[in-house]
């Protein structure tokens, strides 16, 4: 007796979901590391390789996300896309200005001195950069959630735009207040500048940051296993967007190192948050009200 077509399709989909959840992230990490190795050892055009990698990564993640979502309720809609686009444009301008300014400063300084990691290996440079950057970013991020007084309230209002959406998906990663994007860009660029990484090390660091930050908002059931203790990915960052503040932890961006050190690490392999976003009773404006959200840090 032949198997019913619907049952066969259901089994094939189940197998595909299982393979994607267990194999996609390790494969993406392996491909990323290979691209870094090939670009550094074979003298690739780093700028072209960077943009090609980022484009391919975004297309792949969005495609898989649309086909095999963890939760259809967390997926991108037409309305949320147009909302996201406003934040992406606003933050993109801010980040471009910061990178231009720091790039000019880096060129000026490179004519006068080199940073401490200018001649170090790519592996050592990237490792030191990520540890130092993550420490700075961790406390900025944590204070944006848990800070008290006038500074804490200001930082939360600046960061709030990223937590107002009740959905988490790849494109939503770019939903930030321009001031939040400014501070994050300054943290990255200033750390790169002070440490004096080589162009090859900067390329490697940026690729790892892109993979983890884009992947951390991936609406797919990814199971990274022990790699969750090495990198911040989908399983960890999903809890950071939980509406339950008791589990909205994991403040790292690329590494869970400082979450582990300071006791804010949350890892529940077989579960997902019941609800995403913020406490709606707090009276925050909806994320679609772009100008009101941007004005929040400047209001009492």
**How is 56-112 classified by DSSP, letter by letter?**
HHHHHHHHHHHHS-S-GGGS--HHHHHHHHHHHHHHHHHHHHHHHHHHHHHHHHHTT
pLDDT at 1: 47
Residues 38, 44 contacting (CB under 8 angstroms): yes
Q: Bigger pLDDT: 97 or 199?
A: 199
For residue range 196-255, list pLDDT tens digits in order: 888 888 899 989 999 999 999 999 999 999 999 999 989 999 999 999 988 999 999 999
Structure tokens at 231: 């990198």
Q: What is the DSSP string of 138-207?
A: HHHHHHHHH--HHHHHHHHHHHGGGTS-S---TGGGG---HHHHHHHHHHHHHHHHHHT--HHHHHHHHH
Instruction: Find all residues with CB under 8 Å of 245, minimum gap 6, and list them.
Output: 279
Closest CA to 142 of 297, 244, 253: 253
For residue range 138-176, list pLDDT tens digits in order: 999 999 999 999 999 999 999 999 999 999 999 998 899
Residue with tokens 């090859």: 200
pLDDT class of 94 with cuts at 50, 70, 90: confident
Q: Bigger pLDDT: 186 or 211?
A: 211
Residue 26's CB is within 10 A of a number of other CB atoms, namely 13
Closest CA to 259 of 291, 233, 279, 280: 233
Mean pLDDT, range 181-207, rounded to an integer:
88
SS3 242: strand
Closest CA to 168 of 14, 245, 251, 278: 278
Q: Is the pLDDT of residue 4 over 60?
A: no
Distance CA 140, CA 65 (A): 30
Structure tokens at 78: 């037409």
Find the Cα–Cα–Cα–Cα dihedral 113, 50, 257, 126, rounded to 10°: -30
Distance CA 160, CA 256 (A): 22
Q: Is the pLDDT of residue 107 over 60?
A: no
For residue range 24-83, list pLDDT tens digits in order: 999 999 999 999 999 999 999 988 998 999 999 999 999 999 999 999 999 999 999 999
Instruction: Find all residues with CB under 8 Å of 1, minimum gap 6, and list them.
Output: none
Residues 98, 185 contacting (CB under 8 angstroms): yes
Mean pLDDT, range 284-294, rounded to an integer:
93
């Amino acid at each position: 007796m032949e198997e019913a077509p619907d049952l066969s399709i259901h089994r094939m989909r189940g197998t595909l979901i299982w393979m994607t959840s267990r194999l996609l992230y390790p494969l993406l990490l392996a491909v990323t590391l290979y691209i870094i190795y090939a670009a550094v050892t074979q003298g690739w055009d780093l700028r072209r390789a960077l943009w090609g990698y980022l484009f391919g990564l975004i297309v792949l993640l969005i495609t898989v996300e649309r086909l095999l979502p963890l939760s259809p309720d967390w997926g991108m809609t037409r309305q949320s896309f147009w909302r996201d686009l406003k934040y992406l444009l606003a933050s993109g301008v801010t980040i471009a200005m910061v990178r231009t300014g720091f790039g000019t400063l880096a060129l000026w300084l490179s004519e006068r001195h080199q940073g401490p990691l200018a001649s170090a290996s790519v592996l050592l440079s990237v490792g030191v950069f990520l540890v130092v950057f993550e420490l700075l970013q961790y406390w900025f991020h944590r204070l944006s959630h848990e800070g008290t007084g006038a500074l804490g309230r200001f930082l939360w209002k600046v960061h709030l735009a990223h937590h107002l959406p009740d959905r988490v998906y790849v494109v939503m990663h770019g939903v930030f207040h321009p001031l939040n994007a400014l501070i994050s860009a300054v943290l990255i660029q200033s750390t790169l500048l002070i440490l004096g990484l080589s162009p090859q090390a900067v390329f490697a660091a940026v690729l790892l940051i892109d993979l983890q930050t884009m992947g951390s908002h991936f609406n797919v059931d990814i199971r990274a296993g022990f790699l969750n203790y090495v990198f911040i990915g989908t399983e960890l960052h999903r809890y950071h967007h939980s509406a339950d503040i008791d589990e909205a932890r994991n403040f790292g961006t690329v590494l869970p190192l400082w979450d582990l050190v300071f006791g804010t690490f949350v890892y529940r392999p077989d579960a997902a948050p019941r609800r995403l976003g913020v406490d709606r009773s707090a009276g925050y404006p909806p994320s679609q009200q772009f100008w009101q959200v941007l004005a929040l840090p400047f209001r009492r």
